[in-house]
Amino acid sequence: MSESGSLQPDDIIAIGRYMRLQWEEAQDAFVLLYPEGMVELSETAGTILSHCNGTASLAQIINTLQQAFPEADLADDVREFLEDMYAKGWVRVERAG
C-alpha cells in the first residue's frame, strides 16, 4: 500500500493470512472463512477475490476482469472494493519487485 492509502497498479493482492476463499455448495456461493466464522460473498465479490492469488497485481486483476466483462467499466469499482477488503484485513498487499 502506498503512503496515500490507496492501492497502486503494481500492488500484489492476496487473500488475508488467516482467511480462506472457497466455493461452498450449500450456499451456492463463494465464502471467506476466517478463525471466528465465515462470510458469504456476493457473486461479484467472489469473482474479484478469486483472482487475488498472491501473484497478480491490481492492474492484472482489473485487466482480467475487464476482458471477462468488456461491457463494464469496472476499474474504479474493483480498486475501491479491494481497498475496503484491505482495510478489513480480508486481503493483504505486497509491493511488486
Which is it for strands 12-15 and 29-34: parallel, antiparallel or unpaired?
A: unpaired
Please tell me the CATH code under which domain 12-94 is placed: 1.10.10.1150
Q: How far apart are CA 95 and CA 88, in angstroms?
A: 19
Whether the model clears a pTM of 0.95, i.e. scores above it, the answer is no
List pLDDT tens digits, range 43-72.
999 999 999 999 999 999 999 999 999 999
Tell whether the model's pLDDT for residue 93 goes beyond 60: yes
Residue holding cell 486483476?
Answer: 61
Please give the pLDDT value at position 95. Answer: 82
Long-range interactions of 59-62: CB distance < 8 A, separation 24+: 59/9, 59/10, 61/13
Contact 83, 2 (CB under 8 A): no
Q: How far apart are CA 75 and CA 44, in angstroms?
A: 13
